[in-house]
Copies of this chain bind each other. A is one copy, B any other.
Amino acid sequence: MSIAARRHRERAQRHDLIVATARDLAEAEGWDAVTTRRLAQLVEYSQPVLYSHFDGKDAIVRAVAIEGFADLAAQLTHARSGADEPGLALRAVCGAYLAFAAERPALYEAMFVLPIDVKFASEETPPDLKAAFGELVGAIKPFDAHPELRTEVVWAALHGLAVLRRGGRIPADAQEARIDLLVSQISEAGSLRA
Residues in A lying within 8 Å of B, measured CB to CB? 112-113, 115, 120-121, 149-150, 152-153, 155-161, 163-164, 167-171, 174, 177-178, 181-182, 185-186, 188-189, 192
A interface secondary structure, majority: helix
Q: Given A185-B189, A188-B189, A164 and B169 touching (CB < 8 A)?
A: no
Closest to A157 in B: B157
Query: Which residues of B are found within 8 Å of A186, using beta-carbon distances?
Result: 185
Cβ–Cβ contact A153 & B178, under 8 A = yes
A55, chain B: closest CB distance, angstroms:
18
Closest to A148 in B: B174
Q: Given A168-B120, A185-B185, A189-B188, A155 and B160 touching (CB < 8 A)?
A: yes
Query: Which residues of B are found within 8 Å of A174, using beta-carbon distances?
Result: 149, 152
CA A182 to CA B120, docked complex, whole Å = 21
Task: Please pick, from B121, B156, B177, B185, the residue contacting A160 in the complex, using a CB distance under 8 A.
Answer: B156
Query: Which residues of B are found within 8 Å of A150, using beta-carbon distances?
Result: 181
Most buried by B among A158, A171, A189: A189
Cβ–Cβ contact A167 & B115, under 8 A = yes
CA A167 to CA B112, docked complex, whole Å = 8
Q: Given A149-B181, A181-B150, A188-B189, A112 and B155 touching (CB < 8 A)?
A: no
CA A62 to CA B133, docked complex, whole Å = 34
CA A181 to CA B171, docked complex, whole Å = 26
Closest to A114 in B: B167
